[in-house]
Amino acid sequence: MDLELAGKRALVTGGSRGIGKAIARALAEEGVRVVISSRDGAAGAATAADLARDTGGEVHALVADTRDDAEVDALVAGAVALLGGLDIVVNNAARPGSAAPTTPGIAGVVSEYLLDELNTKLVGYLRVARAAAPHLVANGWGRIINISGLAARQSGTIAGSARNVAVSAFTKNLADELGPKGVNVTVVHPGATRTERTVETVSRKAAAEGITPADAEKALYGHSLIGRIVEAEEVAAVVTFLASPRSVAINGDAIAAGGGSPRAIHY
């Protein structure tokens, strides 16, 4: 299937590693001209160079902290200047999973930590979408994909659930506003996904319990219907379809990309 993405222009926040990097790679492989952003300029530049070399595509890197209005406005303006416009926005700049509180339960939720989580993921995504939306609307076509997480559908940590539920609500509100103007907005909920941090997490569990890394990975990530961790490239494939003109029938909806949750019914 031709995804009709060649020549489109995309901004991927949090694109220097993990799921964001995989998304940038997948888009570049489809002929999309890509700008990635990250807080770490050196890491972003290295990733952009690697992706451009590997895909033969056009990949740029910019530096921005999405917790800051002025930096986000400058980021979007910079992406538009580099690409000559903007068609696709992937909001991905956030901590990869909410850290467990030191003290269990509500007593362990530090106000400043929760506010920073919301500022980074919810308000950060809002800042990017707010700055980018006029460019997409001017095109009469666009895609905004917000990367959230399956913590939106389960308890575990208050911060993790709250930030991801909030992103889902933001997504639907934005879709209702921008859909009639040709811009589809969706949210993707990854579950356990292999990134650069996975090896460390698996090794730590294997050492603590005296088991093999394979058994540790199965114990940590083998509870989905596919029985294994999802690869970042597999999440990126979902996002790439949603970024394409082929996804026009999907707007305002949440797409789970965690390998399937046993027994849960979402409708």
Confidence (pLDDT) at 101: 60
55 and 178 co-located in one domain: yes
Asked whether 36 and 15 are in contact (CB, 8 A), the reply is yes
Does 224 reside within a domain? yes
How far from chain centre, in Å, is Cα 85? 21
112 and 205 co-located in one domain: no
Does 267 reside within a domain? no
Identify which of 85, 189, 211, 76 has the alpha carbon closest to the alpha carbon of residue 142. Answer: 85
Does 143 reside within a domain? yes
In 92-179, at which residue ranges do the beta strands (DSSP E only) sit?
142-147
Does 135 reside within a domain? yes
Per-residue model confidence as pLDDT tens digits over 136-186:
999 999 999 999 999 999 988 899 999 999 999 999 999 999 999 999 999
Task: Decide if pLDDT at 102 tops 70.
Answer: no
111 and 175 co-located in one domain: yes
Per-residue model confidence as pLDDT tens digits over 47-96:
999 999 999 999 999 999 999 999 999 999 999 999 999 999 999 999 87
88 and 184 co-located in one domain: yes
19 and 52 co-located in one domain: yes
204 and 140 co-located in one domain: no
Please compute the mean of the pLDDT values over residues 250-263 and round it to a whole number. Answer: 96
Mean pLDDT of all residues belonging to the chain? 95
Asked whether 57 and 33 are in contact (CB, 8 A), the reply is yes
Task: Decide if pLDDT at 104 tops 80.
Answer: no
Helix (H) or strand (E) holding 124: helix 124-139
Phi first, then psi, for residue 131 (nearest 5°) are -75, -35
Beta-bridge partner residues of 164: none
Does 262 reside within a domain? no
Does 76 reside within a domain? yes
139 and 213 co-located in one domain: no
199 and 73 co-located in one domain: no
Q: Domain count for the chain, please give it.
A: 2
95 and 175 co-located in one domain: yes
- For 145, the domain range is 9-192+232-257
